[in-house]
Amino acid sequence: MKTSQELLRAYYFLQLNRALEERLLTFYMQNKVVGGLYRSLGQEAISVGTALAMQPQDWIAPLIRNVGAFLVRGYRPRDLFTQYMAKATSPTAGRDCNTHFGDCSRGVVAPISMLGAMIPVMVGVGWGSRLQGHDRVALTYIGDGGTSTGDFHEGLNLASVWKAPFVLVAEHNQYAYSTPTGKQMAITDLAERARAYAIPAEIVDGNDLLAVYAATQRALEHARSGQGPYFLECKTMRMRGHAEHDDARYVPPQLLEEWRSRDPIDRFRSRLLEEFGISQAQLDEQDARVVTLIQQDADFAEQSPYPEGSQAVGGVFAP
């Protein structure tokens, strides 16, 4: 990521990710969201940085906190709004909610809710692509809590033994629901878990978009060249509750305060202005694009109908 155009594109997606979730919060408070609202506040650089580093042919499986990855892969805010509102115009036509959608023709694999379950799936997707002679890497995400599941360990072991073209991005955001990392594992770095399976593992500042982007490029290069899987641990902080129904009163306020000063968007903005010669006017232009698109797509979602009951099982059972 070197040109002004690339840097501004990354800034645009960070802002779009955040603005989309802020608009969703308003919908949630208006009781227009069906189910919970899961935010990625403070973690946007991970979704955006990793997805931007990927090639269009690569497979990606974004999870609930990876709205930014969906956006980079070409989904519009309206797709997320309508999903969260269970509207007929959503990617699942109102049959499923939030980020439970995907499209194999775009290389996006829909998530499974069971923590860790996407790891063996994506190891298989990557391995299958290799068997078919394709040059595609499969990437998915996991939370710190998710690294304690059996699927995580079985999946990583398999990936390592098979040398599957697979990248796992672990978002170490300090809490799994109300459990701090220190209360569910006796190690400090998730990277150690990958190293136990002989998988190269890097620890990255997850709130630094350029660091995440560069590390993902290294990871993809390694996996693409046939050397096997790669693990990235992105240190970050979950700045909201598990979902919006959770006020996260178990998180010490000073911890949030500390991480607020490391906000990934504020930091990227400062670097663009101070190190990369981007002007305030150029940033304002991107911000204005974000505001316009969010407004347009929020209107679209609000005006969209709910699905007809008769459509409920379409696409669910084989005809």
Query: Considering the rule CB under 6 A, would residue 250 count as an interface residue with ligand TPP?
Result: no
Dist CA 266 CA 81 (whole Å)? 25
Query: Considering the rule CB under 6 A, would residue 242 count as an interface residue with ligand TPP?
Result: yes
Query: Considering the rule CB under 6 A, would residue 26 count as an interface residue with ligand TPP?
Result: no
Dist CA 51 CA 62 (whole Å)? 9
Query: Considering the rule CB under 6 A, would residue 146 count as an interface residue with ligand TPP?
Result: yes
Catalytic one among 9, 76, 100, 242? Answer: 242
Pick from 48, 51, 54, 176 the residue near ligand TPP by CB under 6 A: 176
Query: Considering the rule CB under 6 A, would residue 164 count as an interface residue with ligand TPP?
Result: no
CB 113 → ligand TPP: shortest distance, Å?
5
DSSP labels, 195-263 = HTTT--EEEEETT-HHHHHHHHHHHHHHHHTTS--EEEEEE----S-SSTT---TTS-HHHHHHHHTT-
Q: Is 250 a catalytic residue?
A: yes
- Nearest to ligand TPP of 62, 146 (CB atom): 146
Q: Give φ, ψ of 9 to 5 degrees.
A: -65, -45
- Nearest to ligand TPP of 184, 292 (CB atom): 184
The residues in 78-117 that bind ligand TPP, with binding defined as CB under 6 A, are: 113-115
Dist CA 16 CA 50 (whole Å)? 16
Tokens (6 digits) for 210: 């350029």
CB 26 → ligand TPP: shortest distance, Å?
22
Query: Considering the rule CB under 6 A, would residue 37 count as an interface residue with ligand TPP?
Result: no
Pick from 99, 129, 173, 216 the residue near ligand TPP by CB under 6 A: 173
The rounded radius of gyration (Å) of the Cα atoms in the chain is 19
Which of these ranges, 50-58, 169-177, 192-200, 282-290, lies near ligand TPP under the rule CB under 6 A?
A: 169-177
Number of residues that bind ligand TPP (CB under 6 A): 16
Dist CA 30 CA 145 (whole Å)? 31
C-alpha closest to that of 82 among 96, 65, 66, 63: 96
Query: Considering the rule CB under 6 A, would residue 177 count as an interface residue with ligand TPP?
Result: yes
Which of these ranges, 8-16, 23-31, 98-106, 141-149, lies near ligand TPP under the rule CB under 6 A?
A: 141-149
CB 140 → ligand TPP: shortest distance, Å?
12
CB 286 → ligand TPP: shortest distance, Å?
27
- Nearest to ligand TPP of 44, 144 (CB atom): 144
CB 44 → ligand TPP: shortest distance, Å?
13
Query: Considering the rule CB under 6 A, would residue 143 count as an interface residue with ligand TPP?
Result: yes
Q: Is 242 a catalytic residue?
A: yes
Which residues, other chains included, contact 238 with Cβ-Cβ below 8 Å and sequence gap of 6+? 41, 42, 43, 173, 174, 175, 248
Query: Considering the rule CB under 6 A, would residue 238 count as an interface residue with ligand TPP?
Result: yes
Query: Considering the rule CB under 6 A, would residue 233 count as an interface residue with ligand TPP?
Result: no
- Active-site residues, by number, are 238, 242, 250
Residue ranges that bind ligand TPP, judged by CB under 6 A: 65, 113-115, 143-146, 149, 171, 173, 175-177, 238, 242
